[in-house]
Amino acid sequence: MKKTLVAAAIAATMGATSAQADIYTFTGTGFFTMITPTGGVLTNPDAQGAPGGDAFGVRTPLSNLVMSFDTQTGAGTGSIDPFLFSGTTAVANNVSMQAIGDGNGGPGTLIMGSISFDYGPTTGIPVYLVADAAGIFGAIQGGLNVGDVITGGAQTSTDAPIAASPFGAFTSPLGNIPFAMTTLDVNQDGDAANACGTTGGTGALIGGGFPLCDDGVSGVRMGTAPFPGHGANFDITSLTVQSIQAVPVPAAVWLFGSGLLGLVGVARRKAS
């Protein structure tokens, strides 16, 4: 499943005839937003009035955000500085990402991510995310140079719950951004409260598993304490290209990816 999804993502963004891939490194700005199980916003007192944020702490600004993305494998990594949330320091470890096409074996602009969070004395909290990275993929396809800034792309689903919050009139929507949270959730074995269920997954990728489902609430619901059922959302509002490393790709790799996509179509016809 993993190779199929990677091939789909690569074919969608770079084209099956490309003979070169690149590893991009970006720095960026963004926000953390905690969505409650019922679709509301859990405000952060430590972010109230923070520079670049809002007066009520519905969004927590992120600092020193770094992301890398490999167009050959569809894999990425990231890092952000620790931040305070309700009086406790949140530390993001082992940030990893993977392009997953449309999340169902076809071409698309989705990225699945995984973060191991430490929150005070609680360590190793698994946090997953599914984002629409149309802005990143579109910019890569159009051609990028060091110093270029990506600001547009997809609408983040966190805009909807914030607009519906008591502070909606005072909080401006983020609009189209390059890395935007979705309402898609993942199949998480062992989490009985997960809207996607705990069986029927077709293989793990990064974290959780497939198939994805849409529960209408922004972010992937966390299955463990201290915020069970909440969605941890990371919206990236702008990305600046810091470096581009060219990586030659053998033609056989692209042919292999195209073959995988063909097999997916055959398998679907057989299943139907």
pLDDT digits over 95-149, tens only?
999 998 888 778 899 999 999 999 999 999 988 899 999 999 999 999 999 999 9
Buried b / exposed e over 65-82, threshold 16 CB at 10 Å, is bbbbbbbbbbbbebebee
Ranges 69-83, 91-105, 197-211, 221-235: which has the least confidence = 197-211
Give the separation between CA 104 and CA 60, rounded to whole angstroms: 32
Question: What is the full DSSP assignment across the chain?
Answer: -HHHHHHHHHHHHT-TT--EEEEEEEEEEEEEEEEPTTS-EE--GGGTT-TTS-TT-SSEEEEEEEEEEETTT-EEEEE---EEETTEEEEEEEEEEEEEETSSSS---EEEEEEEEEETTEEEEEEEEEEE-HHHHHHHHH---TT-EE--SEE-TTHHHHHTSTTGGGS----EESBEE-SEE---TT-TT-TT-SS-----SSSS-SS-EE-SSSSPBP-STTSTT-EEEEEEEEEEEEEEEEEE--HHHHHHHHHHHHHHHHHHHHH-
Over residues 241-264, mean pLDDT = 61
Is 6 a residue whose pLDDT tops 70? Answer: no
> pTM, whole model, 2 decimals?
0.82
Comparison of pLDDT for 195 and 70, the residue scoring more: 70
| pLDDT bracket for residue 10 (50, 70, 90) | very low
Over residues 34-44, mean pLDDT = 91
Is 260 a residue whose pLDDT tops 60? Answer: no
| pLDDT bracket for residue 29 (50, 70, 90) | very high
Mean pLDDT rounded to a whole number for the chain: 80
Most confident of 5-14, 30-39, 181-190, 243-252: 30-39
Is 153 a residue whose pLDDT tops 80? Answer: yes
Q: Identify the sign of the CA torsion 85, 88, 91, 97.
A: negative
The torsion defined by the Cα of 85, 89, 95 and 99, in degrees rounded to 10, comes to: 0
Q: Which two tokens stand for residue 110?
A: 């989705």
Over residues 20-49, mean pLDDT = 92
What is the tens place of the pLDDT at every residue in 79-95? Answer: 999 999 999 999 999 99
Is 9 a residue whose pLDDT tops 60? Answer: no
Contacts of 267 (CB under 8 A, 6+ apart): none
Ranges 46-55, 152-161, 178-187: which has the least confidence = 46-55
The reported pLDDT for the residue numbered 204 is: 45
Paired residues of 241 in beta bridges: 26
Comparison of pLDDT for 189 and 20, the residue scoring more: 20
The reported pLDDT for the residue numbered 103 is: 82
Paired residues of 12 in beta bridges: none
